[in-house]
Amino acid sequence: MDVPFLNLKTQYKQIENEVLPMLTEAMSNAAFIGGPQVTGLEKEFAEFCETKYCVAVNSGTDALRFALIAAGIGQGDEVITVPNTFIATTEAISQAGAKPVFVDILPDTYNINPGLIEAKINKKTRAILPVHLYGQPADMDAILKIAKMHNLIVIEDACQAHGALYKGKKAGSMGLAGCFSFYPGKNLGAFGEGGAVVTQDEKLAKQMSMLRDHGQEQKYYHAVEGYNGRLDAIQAGVLRIKLKRLKAWNDARRKNVAIYNELLSKINGITTPVEAKGMESVYHIYLILVDDRDGLQKHLAGKGIGTGLHYPVPLHLQKAYANMGFKEGDFPVSEKVAKRLLSLPMFAELTKEQIEYVCESIKEFF
Ligand SMILES: Cc1ncc(COP(=O)(O)O)c(C=O)c1O
C-alpha cells in the first residue's frame, strides 16, 4: 500500500464539477485580477473567521508583511516570535524593517511559551507574533494579557490554522490581525499562491488593501509606495469553492487524528500531539516525536509511506540567521523537538486502512 504524505488529487476530484465551470467563466470574461471573486472570498472568509474585514493577498508571507507594515512596525522595532516556525514568519518581520526576537516554545503544544515572553520585552519591542503551529492556536489569553500590559500589538500567524478554535474563538480573530496562507497544501489551499489577512480594524484593512496594490487609493493615485501583492481572481474562485467544504475537511482530519492517537498510544516511545484545554486544532500537520526519527522515516519510506519534517532546523540555527550569533542550546525546547519530530500523512481523505497501515508499519519498526 502507498500512503502519500498529502494527496491533493483526491480532493480535486470532489470539486472538479464546480471548478471547471468557474475557470471557463473567468477565462471567457477575462476576469483575472480583483473583481467579484476576490471581494466574494473576502466577505466569506471574514465571516468564516468571525472578523469584520478580510484583505486577500498573494501569499501568507505577504499577509504577515502587510499586517506588520500597516500596523506601523518598521526600522528599530522588535517583534517577538518563535524559532520553530517556517522562515516566512521572520522574513516578514525583517522585510518590514524590524528585528525578530525569539522566545522558546512549550514542550507539549510546541507553541510559544508565554512564561518566557516578558523577559524579552524592552523599549524597542512593538509586537508579539505567535504562530498557531500545526493547526493548534497558541495560548492567546496569556499572550493578549502580556501585550496589553506592555502596550504591544499582537499579530497572529494563522497560516496553518484555518478554522482552529481557541476557547470557541477562531484563530486569526483575536489579535490586531490574523494572517493566513492559501499555499496549495494548506487546509484551505489555492491552485497556486494565495493568502489573506483578517482584522476587526477598518483602518488597518484599508492600509493593507493599499499596500497590496502599489499603495493605490484609486487607480494611478498612490498614497504610499506599496507592493504587487494581490490575489488573482481564479485563485479566489478556487478558494470559495473549497471554503464551503473546509469545516467538513477539518472534521475529517480530526477523526483521522483520533484513529492515529488511539493506535499509536499502544506503542512505547512515541509522543503523539497534545491538544491543550480549550483548543480545537485543525491538524494541518500530524506530528509525532520519536528518538530515532531518521531511522523511522527511512523505514516508513521503504513501506511506501510519505512523511515530512516541520521543521528540522530551528530558525536561530539557520545559516540565514548566522549574523544573529545564536548557538546550540539557546532555545533548548525547540532544538530538542526539532531533532525528534516527524510528520505523518494527514489529509481529510486519508482512509482508516491507510492510517492502520502507517501505525502497523511504525509498530514493526519499534
Ligand atoms: C507558519 C507559516 N507562516 C507563514 C507561511 C507563509 O505562507 P506562504 O507560503 O503562503 O507565503 C507559512 C506557509 O508555508 C507557514 O506555514
Last residue of a domain, one of 196, 222, 240: 240
pTM value surpassing 0.95 = yes
Angle in degrees, CA 251, 257, 263, rounded to 5: 145
For the Cβ of 232 lying below 6 angstroms from any atom of ligand 1, the answer is no
Domain end position, chosen among 190, 208, 240? 240
Quick check: CB of 86 below 6 Å from ligand 1? yes
Q: Is 88 in the pocket of ligand 1 (CB under 6 A)?
A: yes
Contact by Cβ (8 Å): 289, 191? no
Structural domain harbouring 328 = 246-365
The DSSP bridge pattern shows strands 286-289 and 341-344 to be: antiparallel
pLDDT reported for residue 213: 97
Please tell me whether residues 71 and 175 are part of one structural domain: yes
Residue-wise DSSP of 146-181: HHHHHT-EEEEE-TT-TT-EETTEETTSSSSEEEEE
Q: Does ligand 1 have an atom closer than 6 angstroms to the CB of 178?
A: no
Judge whether 168 and 186 are in contact, CB under 8 Å.
Answer: no
Q: What is the pLDDT of residues 219-232, one digit of tens each?
A: 999 999 999 999 99
Chain position carrying cell 516578514: 92
* Count of beta carbons in the 10 Å neighbourhood of residue 238: 28
pLDDT value of residue 278: 96
Q: Does any domain span residue 260?
A: yes
Whole-number pLDDT of residue 77: 98
Tell whether 150 and 267 lie within a shared domain: no
DSSP-derived secondary structure letter, 92: H
In the reported structure, the alpha carbon of residue 87 is separated from the centroid of ligand 1 by a whole-number distance in angstroms of: 8
How far apart, in whole angstroms, are the C-alpha atoms of residue 107 and residue 104? 9
Q: Which of 30, 18, 86, 31 is nearest to 239 (CA)?
A: 18
101: CB partners within 8 A, 6+ apart: 78, 79, 80, 81, 120, 125
Cell numbers describing residue 238 = 478556487
Cα 181 to averaged position of ligand 1 atoms, centre (Å): 5
Residue 236 domain flag: yes
77 and 179 share one domain = yes
308 lines ligand 1 (CB under 6 A): no
Please list the ranges in the chain whose pLDDT falls under 50: none
**Same-domain pairing of 180 and 50:** yes
Return the residue whose CA atom lies nearest to atom 14 of ligand 1. Answer: 86
pLDDT at 31: 85
Does any ligand 1 atom lie closer than 6 A to the CB of residue 157? Answer: yes
Bridge partners of residue 199, in order along the sequence: 53
Same domain, 43 and 166: yes
Residues 148 and 292 in one domain: no
End-to-end CA distance of the chain: 20
Q: Which atom belonging to ligand 1 lies closest to the Cα atom of 183?
A: 10
266 and 234 part of one domain? no
The contacts of residue 224 (CB under 8 Å, 6+ apart) are 210, 211, 215
One domain for residues 175 and 202: yes
Closest CA relative to residue 180, chosen from 167, 161, 165: 161
pLDDT digits (tens, 9 = 90+) for 188-243: 999 999 999 999 999 999 999 999 999 998 999 999 999 999 999 999 999 999 99
Q: Which helix (H) or strand (E) holds 217?
A: strand 216-218
- List the residue whose alpha carbon is closest to atom 7 of ligand 1: 60
- C-alpha cell read off for 172: 486569526
Whether 68 and 129 map to the same domain: the answer is yes
Task: Say if ligand 1 is within 6 A of residue 183 CB.
Answer: yes
- 273 lies in the same domain as 199: no
Ligand 1 atom closest to Cα of 160? 16
Distance of CA 195 to the CA centre of its chain: 10
User: 63 alpha carbon to ligand 1 midpoint, in Å?
Assistant: 9
In terms of domains, do 230 and 183 share one? yes
Residue 272's CATH number: 3.90.1150.10
Q: Do the beta carbons of residue 126 and residue 79 sit within 8 Å?
A: yes
**Co-location of 250 and 233 in the same domain:** no
Query: In this structure, is residue 253 part of a structural domain?
Result: yes
Note whether residue 52 is domain-resident: yes
Domain count, the chain: 2
Domain end point (choices 213, 240, 267): 240
Residue 2 is assigned to a structural domain of this protein: no
**CATH number of the domain to which 117 belongs:** 3.40.640.10
Distance 155 CA to ligand 1 centre (A): 14
3: in domain: no
